Chains A and B, each alone.
Chain A
Amino acid sequence: MNTRSGEVWVFAEQEDGKVADIAFELLGKGRELADRLAVKLAAVLLGGNEEMCAKLIEGGADIVRLIEDDRLKVYRGIAYRAAFVSLIRECSPQIVIFGATHMGRDLAPAIASEVRCGLTADCTDLQIGDYTDKKTGEEFKNVLMQIRPAFGGNIIATIVNPRNWPQMATVREGVMKPLERKATDEGRRTKDGIVRHSSNLDGVEIPVEVVEIIRRHSSVNLKGARIIVAGGAGVGSKENFKLLHELAAALGGAVGGSRAAVDLGYCEHERQIGQTGVTVRPALMISCGISGAVQHLAGMKDSAKIIAINTDKDAPIFQAAHYGIVGDLNQVLPKLIAAVKAKG
């Protein structure tokens, strides 16, 4: 099954007739991996349509492996697993990557279990490199280096899966960059790029019925925010958090929080930045009363500019910051808000 010519695959999740953003982030990374290995990059689209295929090809896929089947329109783990495993057995890809979304984290382990291959969860980076098994001395060229934080973010581990291919990983949302979309020449490439497969679901029992889906229309969009004002335990109260909202409003940004701030009830869970929350990399991050636990830093350290405000001059957050203001945020923030409004 370890074929050097095997494709790099990206699972393109779709919901409500739309390809999810994560698919384009994965294509960005997948393109890099496929080019390095000189193989094709394929998006795998289950229950989708031609219009979605066109978007995926614009997003960087060479081909889209499409299974059109009504039983796959709405995600159900058992049906998706059966269809995906049959596709893997037919095509022997060398790498398959999924988003570490709820869907990806439901599907990828089940596939890995059935195919009996390795799977690394929640990667923050993927690279191609050589690996030597220290026990056997065996060398493996150009394998997938799966890089992820572990142990509550205290260590960064590089995992390899050199023997039982495909090499599979889930990748955290927001960490890979999508490519600039290129319009295809009159859809010709799209037509050539779609490879249709059968779902092979006939005779597969699917003991799950989706009765209802209620979408959460979140007003919080941290991932898309250019500027984020984030608070931690040091903000001191929910009341004080209003200052952060005020600054964010003045800057046209969003408000986020550390896990501590969420646990203390200062802000909602959907605002959590860090290893167990959202990974962000805004143009500007203003960090207020956040000490800078590694779990939090993992989710924001790639921000282009970081301003840290903290009363403790030894707080680790300053190590990640470009600008540091040692002081009480209740005094600093009003000055900052006034200065921003004055420039307005």
Chain B
Amino acid sequence: MNGYNSVVCIKQVPDTKRITGDAMKADGTINRAALPAVFNPDDRCALEAALSVKERFGGTVTVITMGLPAAKAILREALFCGADRAVLVTDRKAAGSDTLATSYILSQAVKKFSPDLVFCGRQAIDGDTAQTGPQIAEKLGMPAITYLEKLDLDGQTATAVRDIGTGIETDRVKLPALFTVTEKFGELRPFNMRRVMELKASEPETLDCAAIGCEDSRCGFAGSPTNVNRIESVVLAGGEFKEVAPTEEAIGNLVKELVDEHTIG
């Protein structure tokens, strides 16, 4: 067998760790323009998983993202790290997709490449839902192995080590299968400078919903059962607190108060 064909689903996300005052508009919605867009951290680990499989066993790595044309930036990064092929699915019909519609569209794109292995990040930092990976697997009729930490392959069988929260589980899985990858898998390798030189002017392939055979009724708003009813930005109520001086006496009194009301002791 000549290695494994992997598809990696990746996402460009606003860097929610670097939220500043400008990031929230007065109406409580997000000002995406004010946030730097980054390659979702867990998806970087998913790409590393696919590249390490290619390195050990041969085969190909295709990265797919759904988003606006600006998302080509992370596709290029993936190519620089060693991906063979990069595909952007972009379509106005995809706007407003929740996880169900997103997983449908991505599964239609993944299908085109008949992969042995599909990798997704565990979750994206903008939504933290961890839903898209398992949902793509269901739509492709593959088992989903979530929270992947280690992977070994032997013919058409994968041995996967996954975090189950209360411990670590080892599974034997028949391929094809989908894996969602955590940061435990390891950091994405750096750019290969030769590839950067060769590919810096390359344009990722672009597909729309029709090209991957999507039914319109299952894409975007039409295909999304969840609606956002309300969004509030988190404003902390300016609570009153009792200031305690950093002195032995004041701290002693505080402890006495807590003992008296049975909070401690």
Contact = CB atoms under 8 A, between A and B. Distances in A.
B226 interface: yes
B216 interface: no
B88 to A, nearest CB: 23
A265 to B, nearest CB: 15
B138 A81 contact: yes
Interface string A204-240: 0001111111111000000000010000000000000
Nearest to A292: B236
Interface residues of A, number: 86
A72 interface: no
Interface string A303-343: 01101100000001011111111111001100110111011
B138 A122 contact: no
A326 B243 contact: yes
Interface string A227-263: 1000000000000000000000001000000000000
Contacts of B33: none
Contacts of B155: none
B149 to A, nearest CB: 12
B87 to A, nearest CB: 22
A109 B131 contact: yes
A321 B243 CA distance: 10
A110 B135 contact: yes
Contact of B167 (A78, A122, A213): A213
B173 interface: yes
B143 A340 contact: no
Of residues B23, B30, B264, which shows the largest number of chain A Cβ atoms within 10 Å of its Cβ?
B264
Interface residues of B, number: 78
A158 B131 CA distance: 18
B227 interface: yes
Contact of A343 (B144, B163, B234, B255): B255
Interface stretch (B57-65, B121-129, B187-195, B202-210): B121-129
A214 B170 CA distance: 9
Nearest to B163: A102
B144 A207 contact: no
Nearest to B137: A110
A160 interface: yes
B241 A110 contact: no
B134 interface: yes
B147 to A, nearest CB: 6
A333 B226 CA distance: 48
B201 interface: no
B213 interface: no
Interface string B222-265: 00111111111110111101111111100110111011000111
A263 to B, nearest CB: 10
Given A152-B16, A335-B246, A164 B225 contact: yes
A119 interface: yes
Contacts of A209: 171-173
A159 interface: yes
A239 to B, nearest CB: 21
Contacts of A284: 258, 263-264
A236 to B, nearest CB: 17
A149 B127 CA distance: 9
B246 A155 contact: no
A249 B170 CA distance: 36
Contact of B234 (A120, A156, A323, A340): A156
A240 B150 CA distance: 34
A145 interface: yes
A184 interface: no
Given A158-B230, A210-B169, A102 B164 contact: yes
Contacts of B159: 211
Contact of B99 (A109, A145, A320): A109
Contact of A325 (B125, B231, B251): B251
Nearest to B169: A213
Contacts of A324: 241-244
B171 A211 contact: yes
A175 to B, nearest CB: 15
Could you say which of B134, B226, B258 has the most chain A C-beta atoms within 10 Å of its C-beta?
Answer: B226
A298 B99 CA distance: 24
Contact of B226 (A161, A210, A343): A161
B135 A109 contact: yes
Given A158-B228, A158-B229, A162-B227, A207 B252 contact: no
Contact of B259 (A109, A122, A343): A343
B181 to A, nearest CB: 14
25 contacts: A101-B165, A105-B131, A109-B132, A110-B134, A110-B135, A113-B138, A118-B100, A119-B99, A133-B227, A151-B30, A152-B125, A155-B232, A155-B234, A157-B230, A158-B229, A161-B227, A164-B225, A207-B173, A212-B170, A214-B167, A297-B236, A323-B243, A324-B243, A325-B244, A343-B256
Given A103-B165, A154-B23, 19 more contacts: A106-B144, A112-B131, A145-B229, A149-B234, A151-B16, A151-B126, A155-B28, A156-B234, A159-B226, A161-B225, A163-B225, A208-B145, A294-B234, A305-B258, A319-B237, A319-B239, A325-B245, A325-B251, A326-B243
Interface of B: 14, 16-17, 19, 23-24, 28, 30, 98-100, 103, 125-135, 137-139, 143-147, 159, 163-174, 177, 224-234, 236-239, 241-248, 251-252, 254-256, 258-259, 263-265
The 5 A-B pairs of least Cβ separation, nearest first, read A152-B16, A327-B246, A118-B225, A102-B165, A118-B226
